[in-house]
Amino acid sequence: MIGIFVYVGAEVAIGSFLINYFTQANIGNISESAASRYLSAYWFCAMVGRFLGSAILRKVRTSTVLAVAAISACLLVCVSMLSSGHLAMGSIILVGLFNSVMFPSIFTLGIAELGPLTGDGSGFLIMAIVVGAAVPLAVGLLADRIGLQRALLLPALCYLYIVYYAWKGSQPSVSA
């Protein structure tokens, strides 16, 4: 549930703040209208990533794809936080490419080996989507205090949790 919570939170936080982010003087210094076109590029990357991810998931383990996607997203967010101009814009737009495979991967790993509890597990994962709304709120509060660019640290931390989940947290526990 935590994996879905942090993924949804990070994705929605980034998508929600992109227009404001791109209009900042040190990032894009562009109008909201121009920024909206870059928002479309973010979602286009997400669509492309979904198609590429589907093909890759046929040949590579889900946990590996998830880990690589989360590491990539985290690094791209960090690049955006530590840079300005076109580099900051381009790196945050590319996060969409890697976000696209996270939800289905986290969901698949989350219900794996639940047997007769698969329906209940699925329900809990769906409920975690709603709770993910807390992350964009927290990013907004942070942005008001430390600035939007620095507030992206929270989504970066969310992606680090997803890396942990892919490698360790999604592994079934051994019962005695």
Burial 69-91 (b: 16+ CB within 10 A, else e): bbbbbbbbbebbbebeeeebbeb
Sign (positive or negative) of CA dihedral 77, 78, 84, 88: negative
Mean pLDDT of the region 72-76? 98
Q: What is the pLDDT of residues 113-153, one digit of tens each?
A: 777 887 887 888 788 788 788 999 999 999 999 999 999 99
DSSP 44-101: HHHHHHHHHHHHHHTTS-HHHHHHHHHHHHHHHHHHHHT--HHHHHHHHHHHHHHHTT
Residue 175 pLDDT exceeds 80: no
Q: What is the pTM of this model?
A: 0.90
Burial 38-58 (b: 16+ CB within 10 A, else e): bbeebeebbeebbeebeeebe
The model's confidence at residue 16, banded by pLDDT at 50, 70 and 90, is very high
Q: Between the CA of residue 142 and those of 6, 147, 152, what are the distances in Å?
A: 16, 7, 9
Mean pLDDT of the region 70-83? 98
CATH number assigned to the domain with residue range 2-168, chosen from the 4 options 1.10.3720.10, 3.40.50.150, 1.20.1250.20, 3.40.50.1980 = 1.20.1250.20
Residue 90 pLDDT exceeds 90: yes
Three-state secondary-structure class, residue 147: coil
Mean pLDDT of the region 32-58? 93
CB 110 within 8 A of CB 120: no
